[in-house]
């Protein structure tokens, strides 16, 4: 055995030595064709080896060649250098199993349409490890795909798979990849692949199936991609479909940012070499503020890729700039080597809709160049929103208070300025067009605003406040022009009218502002023209006005220059028409007049005013106004009076002098239909701060002459309304103020202070010696209406108020306040608030009926209806109504509404809490009930209800009822105040009191129930009910004694029943005793009869014995006798007599007294 093993080992050594030594001496190049043929058989196609061929058998079979060509249907391999290492055991089995295949600069072409997977499975070729260096991979098809400079290593168990490998593709930038597959089954190759771009920190994983679809290779599966967009991490998962010329991603679930700053998307995408990347994404909510705060701005349009890009994003809401944008769509389109185009559509704050289509730059200074459409309903809100990124645009938006603002045109914006080329600018109902250009300031010059605008028609209501525009560009050089072909004026009760033409041209250069021309022609019958010039030292304007009607012109001025002056002019436009005036004004740098001239007529009054220098920088002023009728001047002064004639004329004159820019010493007189007003003080005529301060006095023998002007009716010839007094007056931008008022107005002494602010609101405090509350309420409810006979309140509708009271809040102190119905309050204090259709007295306190009242009362008028709300609290008020008297305290809260005073009172509803002290009810003596009950109980006569009621009324009238202090809740409904029932104790009497006061008629309805505890033996307690109803001053008393009479009747019946029962008992007792007496008598008779019978029996026995003895003696003597004598008849004894019957009638006469017999 040892020899055999030794021989075998020697043979193996020889064989191995031959395998190691022989191949180098063999010319394998001559056998290259055979080797290639053998390789082709295993490969399943043609294989050719070029160049020198070398073979090594140990340690493993290894074949190297200069070049390799391997071709089979769908697969072509061309390599510059080849190294093949085969598995010896596989060769022994007849299979080619390469442990290593190394190809350099290989060109591998695959045509999926021609691949034969059946032949691949039959091919006996396997590669344990292959390595490609600087290879080129080509994928043929409708859209060929080529990858250059690929380094890869891997393995293939067979030509039909499984495959696995990894490598780097260096086409453009390095892309690391790896893959692993299964074997081809059913025409599909299951695979998993990863791609890594370490330069961009991008990673892609895909798992799915490779298959041929319509002759084209296709991968379908799931993929996950991660990376960074700028500084923000990004992650997406999606369903991937890949073909040689395209990638499609569906069901994308993507997130940009970390968990605390996420932007989440869903959607679809596709990619192709020609078109680049196209994505369509949707999102519910995107919080860009949080995202940008963390990662900054990510601009997808300026990505570094040179391929095309189309990104469409839609979001329900986006948080941006501290606010919420809704219905947002964002579209980025970029072609290779071109500037991205952005399309944005979104709903912005302020009811704004934005649509932008054009270029937009975020890098460095922001810029934009594109078509813009924007419409907003709240320009101020939009201005606040865009101010951080576009401050100049924000200032333009906030300059005018527009209800609607829209822009449609081109916009170009960069660091140097903003240019607008507007096809349409809508300002509310006006549409303008033209160009607006703003250039930022340079080191050598101011910023400049240029605007050239045209409008076919301008709605006056849509014009902005020119003061806001002036403040907008205080430092800009200006070149502004506007040409409006027509002006639209809204008129009450008529359609808007398009009338007149407006032309305006203004420039400002180097601080010099020139009004080149301003003309208004044919605006509602008014023509106005003027020009002016202003510098830092001052300036002036000159205007000429010719107008038959001033209303439309006043509307225009009030819109473009709102303020007290334009409002006053608009309010007096009708009174000042027609007007023919010329005026010019010169002012210094502070706005003070240095010269002024006014002359002409307006509304039937003649005006003249001159302000001219008087030397030494002083100014002399003369003013005069004269009208033939007082109503004319009063209406032009802004007072609402009737245009009546014949009451007297009006004349105003004033003159003053003072230093220019300083207040003028002024004296003024106004004579107005018997009323004389005098002013002596200081005035300032500055355009923006006119003021006056001094002493004002007024005197009139009878102000009633002016009453018809104010619709107060014709004056009463028997009543005079004198006025005399004075006050310190102050008039300035803060309003009109009267202080230290001391006046006597129609006999009412008035002192205090009163002020009127620019809005027309009055304030202050007045002290009056007397005031009528009904007259105060009549300011709102109109003059009082008469009431029908017998009615407490008038049913006629409220009369129209003589005038609308102004806005006012005045503190009043009134010595005597007349409340009406004879009520007079003292030391009244209140805060009186007035407004059109409203009067309210709050913080009210006054002394009334020995007590104190506080609270508030409000009356409001709306059309023909009036509403009132009363909340009062009283303490210790002495009140009486007929027999009732008390001191009342508590709180009342009531409200109501109606078209007349009767309806108003009938609608009152609310609640109250009242307490009563020292309450007294006359003719309601509480002991009257007890007296009647006691008297009736003791009466022996017949029961008489009418006598009881008469006695009760007499006893109640003897004294008054005094109640202890008590409280009650009350409800007010439909004008009726009802007290909740109150239980009271009046000695032994229990009282239950209820009541109601009908405010509509003044009637009361009170009920009191008095009851006593039920005496012993009484089935029900004595109780009466007293009622008072009718007029509160003299209510009628009614006493309901039915319950008392019923109780007394029950008691009388009970007493009679007791007497009858006693009599019947006596009768029964007497009968019993009679029966007993009769029974005793019968028993005595029977006993006596029995004894008599016994005695007779004894006597009869004795007699019989005696007779027997005698008979015996006779018999003894018989024999002695000869013969017997005739027999005598036998005589029987009589029966004993029977006693009388037991119940036999007694004998007449007095019966014996049983008591004497000892029976009881």
CA 1132 to CA 1100: how far, in whole Å?
Answer: 10
**In terms of domains, do 805 and 946 share one?**
no
Residue 493 domain-assigned (yes or no): no
CA 128 to chain centre: 77
1128 pLDDT more than 50: no
Same domain, 144 and 210: no
Q: Quote the pTM value.
A: 0.55
Query: Model confidence at 726, in pLDDT bands (50, 70, 90)?
Result: very high
For residue 403, what pLDDT is reported? 77
- Supply the pLDDT for residue 299: 65
Mean pLDDT of 1148-1156: 48
Residue 342 in any domain: the answer is yes
State the pLDDT at residue 886: 93
Confidence of residue 716 (pLDDT cuts 50, 70, 90): low
How far apart, in Å, are the Cα atoms of 1020 and each of 397, 409, 953, 984, 1014? 90, 100, 21, 20, 6
What pLDDT does residue 25 have? 45
Residue 422: the pLDDT is: 93
At 390, list the tokens. 């576009």
pLDDT at 701: 85
Lowest model confidence (mean pLDDT) among 389-393, 499-503, 551-555: 389-393
Measured CA angle at 443 (ends 437, 447), to 5 deg: 25
The boundaries of the domain holding residue 230 are 185-348
Mind listing the pLDDT tens digit for each residue in 848-884? 989 999 999 999 999 889 999 999 999 999 998 889 9
DSSP 351: T
243 lies in some domain: yes
Sign of CA dihedral 878, 881, 883, 884: negative
Q: Which residue has the higher pLDDT, 676 or 710?
A: 676
Q: Does 177 fall in a domain?
A: yes
| Lowest mean pLDDT across 864-868, 890-894, 1128-1132 | 1128-1132
Residue 365 DSSP one-character state: S
Residue 1052 has pLDDT above 90, yes or no: no
Average pLDDT, the chain: 82
Q: Is the pLDDT of residue 174 over 60?
A: yes
Tell whether 170 and 41 lie within a shared domain.
Answer: yes
Residue 894 lies in a domain: no
The answer to whether residue 1072 sits within a structural domain is no
Work out the pLDDT band at 306, boundaries 50, 70, 90. Answer: low
Q: What percent of the chain has pLDDT over 90?
A: 28
Residue 20 has a pLDDT of 46
Helical ranges in 235-376 per DSSP H: 288-295
Q: What percentage of the chain carries pLDDT values higher than 70?
A: 85
Q: Nearest-CA neighbor of 771 among 827, 719, 848?
A: 827
Asked if residues 502 and 517 have their Cβ atoms less than 8 Å apart, the reply is no
Task: Give residue 624's pLDDT band: very low, low, confident or very high (50, 70, 90).
Answer: very high
CA-nearest of 787, 785, 844, 794 to 819 is 844
Do 127 and 206 fall into the same domain? no
Q: Is 174 helix (H, G, I), strand (E, B) or coil?
A: coil
Give the model confidence (pLDDT) of 634-684 as tens digits: 888 877 778 888 888 899 999 988 887 788 899 999 998 888 999 999 988
Quick one: 159 and 232 in the same domain?
no
Coil, strand, or helix at residue 4? helix
The verdict on 846 and 764 lying in the same domain is yes
Q: Tell me, yes or no, whether 232 and 327 share the same domain.
A: yes
Least confident of 304-318, 801-815, 933-947, 963-977: 933-947
Residue 527, pLDDT > 50, answer yes
Residue 17 in any domain: the answer is no
The predicted model gives 1001-1019 an average pLDDT of: 84
Whether 993 and 1005 share a structural domain: yes
Q: What are phi and psi of 129, to 5 degrees?
A: -155, 130
Contact 140, 111 (CB under 8 A): yes
CA 1017/CA 1072 separation, integer angstroms:
30
pLDDT digits (tens, 9 = 90+) for 1069-1090: 888 888 888 888 888 888 888 8
- pLDDT (average), residues 824-841: 93
Query: 78 and 196 share a domain?
Result: no
β-partners of residue 276 are 272
Provide the 10 A C-beta neighbour count for residue 523. Answer: 25
- 738 touches 763 (CB < 8 A): no
User: Which of these ranges, 77-86, 424-433, 916-925, has the smallest mean pLDDT?
Assistant: 77-86
The predicted structure's pLDDT at residue 1133: 52
Check pLDDT > 50 for residue 1160. Answer: no
- pLDDT confidence bin for 1113, thresholds 50/70/90: confident
Alpha carbon distance 448, 456 (integer Å): 27
- Show Cβ contacts of residue 938 under 8 Å, excluding neighbours closer than 6 positions: none
227 and 305 in a single domain? The answer is: yes
- What confidence tens digit (pLDDT) does each residue in 747-781 have? 889 999 999 888 888 999 999 999 999 988 988 88
pLDDT digits (tens, 9 = 90+) for 36-45: 777 777 667 7
Instruction: For residue range 149-163, list pLDDT tens digits in order.
Output: 888 888 887 767 788
> Does residue 105 sit in the same domain as residue 212?
no
Report the Cα–Cα distance between both ends of the chain, in Å, rounded: 166
CA dist., res. 557 & res. 568, Å (int): 11
Mean pLDDT computed over 4-14: 56
Q: In this model, does residue 687 exceed pLDDT 60?
A: no
Please give the Cα distance from 1025 to 1045 (Å, whole number).
12
User: Tokens 């949707």 identify what position?
Assistant: 282
Check whether 833 has a pLDDT greater than 90.
yes
Which of 166, 182, 198 terminates a domain? The answer is 182
Q: Which of 998, 1028, 1052 is the last residue of a domain?
A: 1052
Mark which of 182, 213, 235 sits at the end of a domain: 182
Instruction: Determine, yes or no, domain membership for 1157.
Output: no
- For 371, the token pair is 């078509």
Mean of pLDDT values over 120-131: 66
| Cβ-based neighbours of 849, under 8 Å, separated by 6 or more | 823, 877, 878, 879
Task: Say yes or no to pLDDT of 148 above 90.
Answer: no
> In the structure encoding, which two tokens stand for residue 638, read together?
């802004």
pLDDT higher for 262 or 1136? 262
What does the CA dihedral 895, 900, 903, 909 come to, rounded to 10 degrees? 0
Domain total for the chain? 4
The region of weakest confidence among 171-185, 369-383, 459-473, 902-916 is: 459-473
* Residue 1087: Cβ within 10 Å count: 11
Q: What is the mean pLDDT of residues 451-476?
A: 75
Handedness of CA 851, 855, 860, 864 (dihedral sign): negative
pLDDT tier, 244 (very low <50, low <70, confident <90, very high otherwise): confident
Pairing label, strands 309-320, 276-287 = parallel
- Within this chain, do residues 164 and 212 fall inside the same structural domain, yes or no? no
């Amino acid at each position: 055995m040892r020899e055999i093993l030794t021989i075998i080992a020697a043979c193996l050594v020889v064989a191995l030595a031959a395998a190691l030594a022989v191949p180098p001496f063999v010319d394998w190049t001559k056998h290259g064709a055979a080797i290639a043929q053998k390789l082709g058989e295993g490969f399943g196609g043609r294989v050719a080896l070029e160049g020198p061929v070398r073979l090594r058998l140990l340690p493993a079979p290894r074949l190297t060649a200069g070049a390799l060509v391997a071709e089979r249907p769908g697969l072509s391999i061309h390599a510059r250098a080849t190294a093949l290492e085969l598995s010896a055991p596989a060769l022994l089995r007849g299979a080619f199993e390469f442990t290593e295949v190394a190809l350099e600069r290989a060109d591998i072409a695959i045509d999926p349409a021609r691949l034969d997977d059946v032949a691949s499975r039959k091919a006996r070729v396997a590669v344990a490890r292959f390595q490609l260096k600087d290879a080129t991979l080509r994928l043929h098809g409708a859209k060929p795909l080529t990858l250059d400079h690929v380094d890869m290593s891997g393995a293939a168990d067979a030509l039909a798979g499984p495959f696995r490998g990894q490598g780097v593709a260096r086409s453009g930038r390095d892309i690391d990849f790896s893959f692993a597959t299964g074997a081809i089954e059913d025409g599909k190759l299951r695979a998993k692949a990863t791609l890594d771009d370490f330069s961009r920190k991008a990673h892609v994983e895909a798992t799915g199936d490779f298959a041929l679809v319509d002759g084209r290779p296709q991968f379908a599966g799931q993929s996950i991609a991660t990376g960074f967009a700028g500084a923000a991490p990004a992650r997406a998962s999606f369903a991937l479909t890949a073909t040689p010329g395209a990638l499609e991603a569906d069901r994308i679930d993507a997130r940009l940012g970390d968990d605390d700053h996420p932007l989440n998307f869903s959607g679809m995408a596709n990619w192709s070499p020609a078109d680049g990347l196209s994505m369509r994404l949707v999102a519910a909510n995107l919080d860009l503020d949080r995202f940008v705060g963390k990662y900054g701005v990510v601009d997808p349009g300026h990505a570094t890729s040179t391929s095309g890009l189309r990104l469409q994003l839609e979001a329900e809401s986006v948080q941006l700039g501290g606010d919420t944008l809704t219905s947002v769509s964002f579209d980025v389109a970029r072609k290779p080597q071109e500037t991205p185009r952005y399309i944005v559509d979104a709903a912005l704050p302020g009811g704004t809709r934005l649509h932008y289509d054009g270029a937009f730059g975020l890098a460095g200074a922001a810029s934009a160049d594109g078509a813009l459409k924007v419409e907003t309903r709240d320009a101020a809100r939009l201005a606040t929103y865009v101010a951080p990124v576009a401050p100049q645009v924000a200032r333009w938006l906030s300059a005018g208070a527009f209800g609607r603002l829209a822009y449609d045109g081109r916009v170009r914006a960069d660091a140097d300025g903003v240019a607008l080329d507007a096809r349409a600018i809508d300002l509310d109902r006006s549409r303008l067009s033209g160009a607006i250009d703003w250039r930022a300031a340079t080191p050598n010059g101011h910023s400049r605003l240029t605007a050239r605008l045209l409008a076919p028609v301008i709605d006056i209501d849509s014009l902005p406040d020119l003061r806001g525009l002036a403040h907008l560009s205080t430092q800009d050089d200006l070149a502004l022009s506007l040409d409006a072909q027509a002006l639209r004026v809204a008129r009450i009760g008529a359609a808007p009218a398009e009338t007149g033409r407006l032309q305006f041209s203004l420039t400002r250069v180097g601080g010099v502002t020139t009004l080149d021309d301003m003309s208004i022609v044919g605006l509602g019958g008014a023509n106005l023209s003027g020009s002016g010039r202003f510098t830092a030292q001052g300036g002036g304007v000159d205007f000429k006005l010719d107008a038959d009607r001033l209303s439309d012109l006043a509307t225009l001025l009030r819109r473009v220059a709102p303020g007290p002056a334009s409002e006053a002019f608009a309010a007096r436009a009708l009174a000042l028409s027609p007007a023919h005036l010329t005026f010019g004004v010169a002012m210094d740098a502070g706005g003070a007049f240095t010269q002024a001239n006014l002359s002409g007529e307006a509304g039937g009054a003649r005006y003249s005013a001159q302000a001219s220098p008087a030397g030494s920088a002083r100014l002399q002023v003369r003013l005069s106004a004269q009208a033939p009728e007082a109503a004319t001047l009063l209406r032009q002064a802004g007072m609402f009076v009737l245009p009546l004639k014949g009451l007297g004329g009006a004349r105003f004159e004033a003159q003053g002098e003072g230093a220019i820019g300083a207040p003028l010493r002024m004296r003024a007189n106004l004579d107005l239909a018997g009323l004389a007003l005098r002013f002596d003080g200081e005035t300032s005529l500055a355009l923006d701060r006119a003021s006056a301060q001094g002493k004002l006095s007024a005197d009139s023998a009878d102000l009633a002459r002016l009453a018809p002007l104010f619709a107060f009716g014709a004056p009463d010839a028997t009543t005079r309304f004198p006025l005399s007094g004075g006050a310190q007056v102050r008039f300035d931008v803060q309003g009109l103020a009267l202080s230290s008022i001391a006046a006597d107005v129609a006999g009412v002494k008035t002192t205090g202070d009163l002020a009127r602010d620019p809005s027309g609101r009055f304030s202050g405090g007045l002290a009056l010696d007397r005031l009528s509350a009904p007259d105060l309420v009549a300011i709102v409810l109109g003059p009082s209406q008469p009431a029908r006979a017998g009615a407490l309140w008038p049913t006629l509708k409220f009369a129209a108020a003589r005038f609308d009271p102004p806005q006012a809040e005045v503190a009043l102190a009134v010595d005597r306040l007349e409340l009406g119905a004879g009520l007079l309050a003292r030391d009244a204090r209140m805060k009186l608030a007035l407004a059109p259709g409203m009067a309210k007295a709050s913080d009210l306190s006054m002394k009334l009926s020995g007590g104190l009242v506080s609270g508030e009362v409000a009356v409001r008028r709306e059309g023909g209806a009036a509403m009132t709300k009363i909340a009062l609290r009283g303490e210790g008020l002495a009140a009486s109504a007929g027999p009732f008297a008390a001191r009342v305290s508590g709180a009342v809260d009531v409200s109501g509404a109606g078209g007349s005073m009767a309806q108003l009172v009938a609608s009152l509803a609310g609640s109250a809490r009242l307490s009563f002290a020292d309450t007294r009810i006359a003719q309601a003596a509480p002991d009257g009930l007890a007296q009647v009950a006691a008297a009736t109980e003791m009466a022996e006569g017949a029961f008489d209800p009418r006598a009881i009621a008469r006695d009760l009324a007499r006893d109640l009238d003897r004294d008054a009822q005094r109640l202890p202090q008590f409280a009650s809740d009350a409800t007010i409904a439909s004008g009726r105040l009802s007290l909740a029932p109150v239980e009271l104790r009046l000695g032994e009497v229990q009282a239950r009191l209820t009541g109601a006061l009908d405010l509509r008629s003044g009637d009361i309805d009170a009920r009191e129930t008095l009851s006593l505890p039920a005496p012993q033996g009484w089935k029900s307690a004595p109780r009466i009910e007293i009622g008072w109803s009718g007029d509160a001053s003299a209510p009628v008393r009614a006493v309901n004694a039915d319950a008392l009479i019923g109780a007394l009747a029950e008691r009388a019946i009970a007493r009679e029943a007791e007497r009858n029962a006693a009599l019947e008992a006596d009768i029964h007792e007497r009968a019993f005793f009679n029966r007993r007496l009769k029974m005793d008598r019968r028993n005595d008779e029977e006993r006596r009869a029995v004894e008599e019978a016994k005695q007779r029996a004894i006597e009869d026995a004795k007699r019989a014995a005696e007779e027997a003895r005698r008979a015996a003696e006779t018999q003894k003597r018989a024999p002695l006798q000869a013969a017997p004598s005739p027999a005598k008849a036998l005589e029987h004894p009589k029966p004993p007599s029977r006693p009388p019957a037991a119940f036999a009638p007694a004998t007449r006469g007095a019966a014996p007294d049983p008591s004497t017999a000892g029976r009881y």
